[in-house]
Amino acid sequence: MSGRLVVCPTPIGNLEDITLRALAALREADVVACEDTRRTRVLLDRYGVSAKLVSYHEHNEERRALELVEMMRGGSTVALVSDAGMPLVSDPGYELVRAAVAAGLSVEVLPGPSAVLAALVASALPADRWRFVGFLPRRRGELRAALSEPGTIVAFESPRRVPATLAALAELSPERDVAICRELTKAHEEVVRGTARELAARYSQAPPKGEVVLVIGPSPSGDGGEAPDPAAVDALARLVDAGARARPAAAVVAQLTGTSANALYRALSSRRRDGE
């Protein structure tokens, strides 16, 4: 009889946030696949769970996934955890879930703690339309393109990079609302809210400490900030005149220039309506 895979979220800081279902799954599992066996052992010891642990991280993900699938085919139940939060969300786990599904095995996903959702709610910013972008890109053009999303953005960010990210956002859209969510669920939890301009000034000399989730509200103008560079609109117009479809072409130009794709598309449409 085939076994199954159970994806178990773990606390993002406060160990009391583990769910009863997650504890039951960890106790029943034949093996627990985890990023750091030492860190997971601390959690399991807290609740008296004596499970067999195997390492499963970004450096052995493909090989270990094959091994775990074979165990499940033999009837074993595998519980998958990350160091904190939901596996696969900027954490290892994709290869194992994909391999289990491809093998026809049962995959059960348990609800639980999530830094993404906790930060989104704590930010007090609109949650009706939002996007999680993982860790923000380092290249300036790619960063500007990511920050030009029209809806609310949730991102993980290194504390030491927060000042540079806020400076880039303040340049792009200074009045955009931002929340810096730091050390969520931990003893020194802090949520600092303000405009991009205000927070860029606040953190310019002193980066925040600890784990940070950055939440960026919708652009006040709804298009990612200022009007797009006319040169970028010209480039889009040339691509469209050469036969490219407007929206895919706008996405390409946006990625290359750090401009909002929606703003480029609207600027081109407006230009064509005006007969330019």
Q: Say how far apart CA 142 and CA 148 lie, in whole Å.
A: 10
pLDDT at residue number 102: 96
Res. 183 pLDDT band, cuts 50 70 90: very high
**Cα gap 159→182, rounded to integer Å:** 9
Domain 115-216 has CATH 3.30.950.10: yes
**pLDDT, tens only, 12-44:** 999 999 999 999 999 999 999 999 999 999 999
- The one-character DSSP state at 12 is S
**DSSP assignment, residue 17?**
G
**Which two tokens mark 274?**
């005006």
* Mean local confidence (pLDDT), 179-206: 96
- What gap in Å lies between CA 140 and CA 201, rounded to an integer? 19
4-109 maps to CATH 3.40.1010.10: yes
Taken as a whole, the chain contains a residue count of: 276
Tell me how far apart the alpha carbons of residues 130 and 253 are, in angstroms, rounded to a whole number.
23
Give the strand order in the sheet containing 177-182: 130-135, 152-157, 212-216, 177-182, 190-195
> What DSSP character marks residue 137?
P
Q: What is the pLDDT of residues 236-271, one digit of tens each?
A: 999 999 999 988 898 899 888 877 777 788 788 877
Domain boundaries, the chain: 4-109, 115-216, 230-273
Write the CB contacts of 66 (distance below 8 Å, at least 6 apart in sequence).
Answer: 99
Residue reference for tokens 């906790």: 118
CA distance 36 to 58: 11
This prediction has a pTM of: 0.76
144 confidence band (pLDDT: 50, 70, 90): confident
**pLDDT band at residue 276 using 50, 70 and 90 as cut-offs:** low
pLDDT for the residue numbered 227: 63
